[in-house]
Amino acid sequence: MDMNLDQVRQELTDIHEELLRLPADDFDRRAELQGRKTELRQLSAQLIEGEPLHDAEVLRAAFQRLSDVRDQLLSNYLSPGRSGTMDTTFDGEFTSMVNKAMTSGLGIDEVEARMAEIIKQMKSTG
């Protein structure tokens, strides 16, 4: 089955969420998911390279779609003092550590890099 960029991004998000829910000792499933995540990131790069984005409307739609994906991913971030399970609160250091791990696992950097590319394309198309 051929996947489009939206489907790839959604599966990456699903994998990240599953990784967060997995018990720490489920090494086999973690390895399987990490392998799939690598495959999807490579596919994502190939899809991005192949996208003909010259039309201003197409560029705006692609930017908006990526912006929505980024916002959805960022909404999962923790904030210091936010209540966790069993009436615990997250301190700043823990929150920072978790958010960094989430950033690397979700591919937010890739989404934002693609958004920057689209902005450049929009500026060059007038």
Beta-bridge partners for 89: 83
User: What mean pLDDT is reported for the chain?
Assistant: 75
Half-sphere exposure of 100 (CA within 13 A, CB side): 6
Give dist(CA 105, CA 101) in Å, integer: 6
Rounded CA-CA distance 70/100 in Å is: 15
Reading the block at residue 73, the tokens are 């991913």
For the segment 48-68, what is each residue's pLDDT rounded down to a tens digit?
Answer: 775 554 567 777 888 888 888
Contact 73, 105 (CB under 8 A): no
Q: What is the pTM of this model?
A: 0.43
Query: Could you tell me the maximum CA-CA distance found in the chain, to the nearest angstrom?
Result: 54
pLDDT value at residue 29: 92
Q: Which tens digits make up the pLDDT trace of 1-49? A: 578 878 888 898 888 888 888 888 889 999 999 999 989 888 887 777 7
Q: What is the model's pLDDT at position 86?
A: 44
Phi, psi (deg, nearest 5) at residue 29 = -65, -40
